[in-house]
Chain A
């Protein structure tokens, strides 16, 4: 039996998924990157291996997310793809008539506009991460509410209060102020969800042609409060796909399958990759005034990959 591995190493979470030939999800994992991308990735490999049929053979691997380069060295990837394309591919596979993808992850939020399954426009947040998963996490922790309950609490409220959602620090002081005025936790949380959606639509979604069918994915899609706030703001139904949290990984798994079908081979290092010892070292190249930061990855003490130089000097190992 054939399987394809998709890996999405984001700044906040690491996602792994294995699909079969028909792109059914065999197993998936979603954990915190916890600032240690390599270790977490190896741990994920160890965790998913027992879930898989011993006869399953991994015939293709794809990586995405901000840590896609590092991840590709560790697992041995056939496809390394940006997360925008990966999300678009996964969404249009799961919901073929999708026109708009709203994706909110830990530190990124993006909007992708498609026509006939092809990306025609996209935007991603720059310089500001207000209105992303990390922001919600932070506020939930401050209110002492588990992030899992956050959305359902928001749904309990009829009259959300208005929260300043531009900057996470000011949102926090605004929330404290509203608490002091005696508003209920539910109405404050609902207000926060609306503020986040407002912020998203005014920032990332500004000027974009948002049309149904709309798919909402990324970790924050677990939050039913945000989903409801989007439905209210856009006045239409929002689809949250079954595997909303790992859609990027599904996207590259699909690409890996297509690649494997074409070439019939894979660079996958096997689940043993979780046993190797990896070290990342970087240095500042002083050969010219560019002062490039060159990053080197050592596998069991041997140089396995290197990137970061602007000239060709460091291209070959």
Chain B
């Protein structure tokens, strides 16, 4: 059994660990690049979103490399993501690939896990312990990334910070124990902090949008790096590990949405699918925390984010916080992005010095 899965930022690390711990052969697609994009665009429906096209590109590449099992998250929310898995399956089958497709649906999760466990031929005990190690890695990588983007604009030596992050992620990926992961994380965090003393305060930006675009640097054209280069500290509204933690257990999920709806009252009263409510919730909560700007980034034709981009205008006016909205598709050029980011960064710096 050769298993594969699509990329989304750092999720390949825990997934690879999970499957390798269970003695499975794993095919990790190359990090997203223009090749992946072209392959996805060739077979995806024109009006599907960029995340779908990239995921498709990843999957076709892995199948070409001999993967025979694809694992993918499903979802029954009103966003098109719910159909992604099934559509991927159909497109790949039409192209002549034969494989086992495991789509993890929230409603059938226990059954899906049972199927997966049977296919892997492992015990529950081994499965749980592999899952725990994978989970520790996901949390570690997210924590590192989060700290990295808040430290980078203050760093004395950007390249050094970058190599601390990449080195840290690499060592965490190879690590075989939870305690090792924790030790490595603490060590990297300390090194990052040491390199970035905060003698002055730079503008802080909350980046809101859908989970894929936020967490997959290729699909957001490296927005965090562009902002950091202009001296802006950034934070994402959704990190994969935090999102999973909020969604997995029903009581966590209920508490999360209760809080979100308390914040979005008067802006968006209900969940309309995708990450719309998360976008509005975090835009408001971070504005209240004293952040200096909002960057809203989402793929073209993404319904929930189109709705929230209109509502964010109201947030911006009421909370008196500048916002920049960026729509991304496969034709987007980095030059256009740089222009907008540079202008937005200047606006924020000016606002900070002359409020």
Interface residue A172 (Cβ < 8 Å from any Cβ of B): no
Task: Show the binding face of B for A, using Cβ within 8 Å.
Answer: 30-31, 33-35, 159, 162, 222, 225, 300, 310, 313, 316-317, 322-327, 329, 331-332, 335-336, 338-340, 342-344, 346-347, 350-351, 354
Assess the B327–A66 pair: CB atoms within 8 A: no
Within 280-317 of A, Cβ neighbours of B (below 8 Å) are at 288-291, 310-312
Tally A-B pairs: CB < 8 A: 70
Q: How many angstroms from the CA of A68 to the CA of B322 in the assembled complex? A: 26
Assess the A290–B31 pair: CB atoms within 8 A: yes
Assess the A85–B31 pair: CB atoms within 8 A: no
**Which A-B residue pairs are the 7 nearest by beta carbons?**
A207-B313, A84-B343, A289-B30, A82-B342, A291-B33, A82-B339, A289-B31
Assess the A118–B326 pair: CB atoms within 8 A: no
The smallest beta-carbon distance between B309 and chain A, in angstroms, is 9
Assess the B339–A127 pair: CB atoms within 8 A: no
20 examples of A-B residue contacts, CB within 8 angstroms: A66-B336, A82-B342, A84-B340, A84-B342, A118-B351, A118-B354, A121-B316, A121-B323, A122-B324, A122-B343, A126-B326, A126-B327, A126-B332, A127-B331, A207-B310, A288-B31, A291-B33, A291-B35, A311-B162, A312-B162
Residue numbers in A under 8 Å from B343 (CB-CB) = 82, 84-85, 119, 122
Residue numbers in B under 8 Å from A291 (CB-CB) = 33-35
Interface residue A34 (Cβ < 8 Å from any Cβ of B): no
- Which residue of A119, A121, A311 is within 8 Å of B346 (Cβ)? A119
Assess the B317–A209 pair: CB atoms within 8 A: yes
Within 122-158 of A, Cβ neighbours of B (below 8 Å) are at 122-124, 126-127
Chain B residue nearest to A87 (CB atoms) is B343
Residue numbers in A under 8 Å from B35 (CB-CB) = 291
- Which residue of B323, B332, B350 is within 8 Å of A118 (Cβ)? B350
Q: How many residues on the A side are at the interface (Cβ–Cβ under 8 A)?
A: 25
Q: How many angstroms from the CA of A107 to the CA of B159 in the assembled complex? A: 36
Q: How many angstroms from the CA of A119 to the CA of B324 in the assembled complex? A: 13
Assess the A66–B339 pair: CB atoms within 8 A: yes
Q: How many angstroms from the CA of A291 to the CA of B218 in the assembled complex? A: 11
Residue numbers in A under 8 Å from B34 (CB-CB) = 291
Residue numbers in B under 8 Å from A83 (CB-CB) = 339
Residue numbers in B under 8 Å from A121 (CB-CB) = 316, 322-323, 347
Residue of B31, B343, B344 with highest tally of chain A CB at under 10 A: B343
Assess the B300–A127 pair: CB atoms within 8 A: yes
Residue numbers in A under 8 Å from B332 (CB-CB) = 126-127
What DSSP secondary structure best describes chain B's contact surface? helix
Residue numbers in B under 8 Å from A122 (CB-CB) = 324, 343-344, 347
Assuming the contacts A291-B33, A312-B159, asked whether A120 and B336 have C-beta atoms less than 8 A apart, the reply is no
Q: How many angstroms from the CA of A122 to the CA of B350 in the assembled complex? A: 14
Q: How many angstroms from the CA of A310 to the CA of B313 in the assembled complex? A: 32
The smallest beta-carbon distance between A215 and chain B, in angstroms, is 17
Residue numbers in B under 8 Å from A82 (CB-CB) = 338-340, 342-343, 346
The smallest beta-carbon distance between A304 and chain B, in angstroms, is 19
Other A-B contacts than A66-B335, A312-B162, 15 sampled, CB-CB below 8 A, are A83-B339, A84-B339, A84-B340, A85-B343, A118-B347, A118-B351, A119-B343, A121-B347, A122-B347, A126-B332, A206-B310, A207-B310, A288-B31, A289-B33, A291-B33
Residue numbers in A under 8 Å from B30 (CB-CB) = 289
Residue numbers in B under 8 Å from A311 (CB-CB) = 162
Chain A 153-189, CB-CB to B under 8 Å as 1, else 0, gives 0000000000000000000000000000000000000
Chain B residue nearest to A84 (CB atoms) is B343
Residue numbers in B under 8 Å from A310 (CB-CB) = 222, 225
Q: How many angstroms from the CA of A207 to the CA of B323 in the assembled complex? A: 11
The smallest beta-carbon distance between B47 and chain A, in angstroms, is 12
Residue numbers in A under 8 Å from B346 (CB-CB) = 82, 85, 119
The smallest beta-carbon distance between A217 and chain B, in angstroms, is 16
Residue numbers in B under 8 Å from A126 (CB-CB) = 326-327, 332, 336
The smallest beta-carbon distance between A105 and chain B, in angstroms, is 12
Within 71-94 of A, Cβ neighbours of B (below 8 Å) are at 81-85
- Which residue of A66, A85, A127, A288 is within 8 Å of B342 (Cβ)? A85
Assess the B325–A123 pair: CB atoms within 8 A: yes
Assuming the contacts A124-B340, A207-B313, A289-B31, asked whether A119 and B347 have C-beta atoms less than 8 A apart, the reply is yes
The smallest beta-carbon distance between A290 and chain B, in angstroms, is 6
Residue numbers in B under 8 Å from A127 (CB-CB) = 300, 327, 329, 331-332
Assess the B350–A119 pair: CB atoms within 8 A: yes
Chain B residue nearest to A107 (CB atoms) is B336
The smallest beta-carbon distance between B282 and chain A, in angstroms, is 19
Chain B residue nearest to A315 (CB atoms) is B159
Q: How many angstroms from the CA of A210 to the CA of B342 in the assembled complex? A: 23
Residue numbers in A under 8 Å from B222 (CB-CB) = 310
The smallest beta-carbon distance between B221 and chain A, in angstroms, is 10
The smallest beta-carbon distance between B91 and chain A, in angstroms, is 23
